[in-house]
Amino acid sequence: MSSILRRSSDRDATAPPAPLGVALYGCGTVGSGLVQVLRARESLAGRVSLDLLHVVVRDIAKRRAVAHPDGVLSRALLPPIDDPRVQIVVELIGGIEPAHTLIVHALNSGKHVISANKAVIAAHGAELESLAAQNRVLFKYGAAVGGAIPILHALRGPLRHEPVRSIRGIVNGTTNYILTQMAEQGTSFEAALASAQAHGFAEPDPFADVSGLDAAQKIVILARHAFGRWVSLDDVELTGIDRVSADDIRAAHAEGASLKLVADARMDGDRIRMKVAPALVSPNDPLYAIRNEMNAIVIDTEFSGSLVFAGPGAGAHPAGSAVFSDIAAVARRVAGRRGS
Amino acid sequence: MSSILRRSSDRDATAPPAPLGVALYGCGTVGSGLVQVLRARESLAGRVSLDLLHVVVRDIAKRRAVAHPDGVLSRALLPPIDDPRVQIVVELIGGIEPAHTLIVHALNSGKHVISANKAVIAAHGAELESLAAQNRVLFKYGAAVGGAIPILHALRGPLRHEPVRSIRGIVNGTTNYILTQMAEQGTSFEAALASAQAHGFAEPDPFADVSGLDAAQKIVILARHAFGRWVSLDDVELTGIDRVSADDIRAAHAEGASLKLVADARMDGDRIRMKVAPALVSPNDPLYAIRNEMNAIVIDTEFSGSLVFAGPGAGAHPAGSAVFSDIAAVARRVAGRRGS
């Protein structure tokens, strides 16, 4: 019975659980943000005790935003997972491979896995969730959509019994930054993209953002939690912003609207229809006021009306904090299990 | 170990738990909404099995939005709690007494309690949470603030380790409806209040809404979950909207702003400062576009930036759905306990 209470505890002081060993894959923007959040919170709270044993990177010599103790950085892909002290594997390298291989190996090795990798989750989510269930470990990816916005938590938690009619939103900060700059500064697509890259919002290769692929991966993940089943990325009707011109933006403004890259999933009979495309958004739409790298998601429900969630969709600290939240949730779950 | 997996399951099919006995106190707007949601979801999901054994009301003869089977309606205050089949007590009668007495009796009798009563929680939250802990039962009140907006869930769940700097928002739908009508239709305060009452947003006695007391109770509850401790309602600096004139609204418009009743809590050194007052809100503020009975809450955090949550803050179905969400969470917790 006491485990019920432990799970319902919150910011109140509770006994700190024993430290959990963590292996982190990838130490770019999000990984560095996570390490900074981990270090800040260790001193802040001490309620979740973590031991960052391995940080696996492609290039050990590269200069990084955060320093690591000797022996923590490595390039070896699978050995850190096999370290018996490691209980949680955090995958932040992005892309399908080697991310897929290492997540499968971690789950099959009985390690809890946290990922922020929308590409691998949109492509292999059903398989990975099933592997996690078979191996009785947790697989969490709250940071894969919406950065720090706890949208997946809301869908899996308080809204899990709420029938969802549609879910739509601005889920790619780079394209929203570009469209905002084009509209507000009158810059060209190319200049706005260069500015996004200079601000660190856009990858050196902006294809996934600009083509709408990144948003399509995210709407697949949102649809899974809004409607209860995995859908194929191939079923997303996809139009990027690469052909949006200054004239299109001006025409939208002339109509009193703004042009946004909107991802949308909705029930149509038994089918889930998904679409990512530039769309005219009117001032009454909660998406209208979402500027620059901000994200927003609107859920239309049967009983709870329209719910809106907005916040920074990208950035080292917001994304790092979202990953930390998943790690902390796993740590509490493991602590609860130990005690029950 | 299997209980970990059960708790992480979601919309996927899982074995339904045995039905849980529920006693409902109060069957006004929210209570009727809850009963409708309960009935709709029984056929929809069947994943949480509930047996509504008692519905306690002041006036049995009154015509109600929903009908109940024979023997369910009663006026007896404490006997339904003592029914050994009752495991969950839902308190929706509002106000301090007899709500406080019945919640205390329920917790001390080992029953889980769900309440949407911001008055009793703002006044006695610390005592009631402590009683729940002593009796090893759950005490949930997600519907007390923000209606269907899962703001308390977010603060207690994914954001629980996130240092919060401030939390502010529009948390009273009635006053926001009145101010919106005054601004958009040019109506007087009195006419807008009458319209709110005709739409069912305002109580026959609008004092708690108009004076800001309702918003003050809600900011006390938000502060408890944002900052980790209970504060006194007396510490809220309080100004209502009863003295807002059409001229004030026009003056706000002339400045390009809108006038909103804003509740605010923020850390100031070790102190939590709380305030409810009409405030000028600029177009860049996420609260600017929140019209009529909608609510919105903005959390300013150290790592995750500014997060915005918006949705219907009132109404039978949104509020009923929020109560249902708490009931379902208790039911899952109890089912998990049975199985572990």
In DSSP terms, which residues pair with B266 in a beta bridge? B166, B273
Mean pLDDT for the stretch of residues B235-254: 93
Q: What is the DSSP string of B176-239?
A: HHHHHHHHHH---HHHHHHHHHHTT-S-SS-HHHHTSHHHHHHHHHHHHHHHSS---GGGEEE-
CA neighbor of B196 nearest in space, from B219, B216, B172, B214: B172
Flag whether pLDDT at B222 surpasses 50.
yes
How far is it, in rounded angstroms, from Cα B223 to Cα B151?
Answer: 12
Kindly state the DSSP code that residue A233 receives in the 8-state scheme: G
Q: Is B8 on the interface with A (CB under 8 A)?
A: yes
Q: What is the pLDDT of residue A330?
A: 92
Q: Is B305 on the interface with A (CB under 8 A)?
A: yes
Report the residue count for chain B.
Answer: 340
Mean pLDDT for the stretch of residues A19-36: 92
- The answer to whether the Cβ–Cβ distance between A153 and B158 falls below 8 Å is yes
Flag whether pLDDT at B5 surpasses 60.
no
HEC secondary structure over B18-59? CCEEEEEECCCHHHHHHHHHHHHHHHHCCCCCEEEEEEECCC
Q: Please tell me the distance in Å from A76's CA to the nearest CA on chain B.
A: 30
Structural contact between residues A212 and A292, judged by C-beta atoms closer than 8 angstroms: no
* pLDDT tens digits, one per residue of A236-267: 999 999 989 989 999 998 999 999 999 999 99
Mean pLDDT for the stretch of residues B255-282: 96
Mean pLDDT for the stretch of residues B282-310: 95
In DSSP terms, which residues pair with B52 in a beta bridge? B22
* pLDDT tens digits, one per residue of A285-322: 999 999 999 999 999 999 999 999 999 988 889 999 99
Flag whether pLDDT at B2 surpasses 70.
no
- Copy the structure tokens of residue B77: 């205050």
Q: Please tell me the distance in Å from A15's CA to the nearest CA on chain B.
A: 15
How many CB atoms are closer than 10 A to CB B281? Answer: 19
Residue A160 has its nearest CB partner, among B1, B11, B154, at B11
Residues of A with a known catalytic role:
218
pLDDT confidence tier of residue B72, bands split at 50, 70 and 90? very high
* pLDDT tens digits, one per residue of A105-150: 999 999 999 999 999 999 999 999 999 999 999 999 999 999 999 9
Mean pLDDT for the stretch of residues A81-87: 96
Q: Please tell me the distance in Å from A106's CA to the nearest CA on chain B.
A: 17
How many CB atoms are closer than 10 A to CB A70? Answer: 5
Q: Is B339 on the interface with A (CB under 8 A)?
A: no
- The answer to whether the Cβ–Cβ distance between B304 and A288 falls below 8 Å is no
Flag whether pLDDT at B4 surpasses 70.
no
- The answer to whether the Cβ–Cβ distance between A340 and B3 falls below 8 Å is yes
How far is it, in rounded angstroms, from Cα A192 to Cα A196?
Answer: 6
- Copy the structure tokens of residue A339: 């005690």
How many CB atoms are closer than 10 A to CB B60? Answer: 12
- The answer to whether the Cβ–Cβ distance between A306 and B312 falls below 8 Å is yes
Q: Is A130 on the interface with B (CB under 8 A)?
A: no
Catalytic residue among B111, B118, B140, B218: B218
CB contacts of B329 in chain A (<8 Å) are 157-158
Map tokens 């609510």 to a residue.
B295
Count of CB contacts below 8 A, A vs B?
186
Q: Which of A67-81, A293-307, B87-101 has the lowest mean pLDDT?
A: A67-81
CA nearest to B129 within chain A: A9
Q: Which of A284, A303, A340 to mutate to test the interface with B (most CBs of B within 10 A)?
A: A303
Whether the ω angle into residue B163 lies within 30 degrees of 0, i.e. cis, is no
Structural contact between residues B22 and B52, judged by C-beta atoms closer than 8 angstroms: yes
pLDDT confidence tier of residue A17, bands split at 50, 70 and 90? low
Structural contact between residues B305 and A311, judged by C-beta atoms closer than 8 angstroms: yes
The pLDDT mean for chain A works out to 90
Residue A11 has its nearest CB partner, among B148, B160, B318, at B160
- The answer to whether the Cβ–Cβ distance between A308 and B309 falls below 8 Å is yes
B 272-291 residues inside an 8 A Cβ radius of A: 283, 286, 288-289
Cα of first residue to Cα of last residue in chain A, in angstroms, is 8
Strands B294-301 and B306-312: antiparallel
Mean pLDDT for the stretch of residues A55-59: 92
Whether the ω angle into residue A98 lies within 30 degrees of 0, i.e. cis, is yes
* pLDDT tens digits, one per residue of B157-208: 999 989 999 999 999 999 999 999 999 999 999 999 999 888 877 777 889 9
- Give B199 or B230, the one with higher predicted confidence: B230
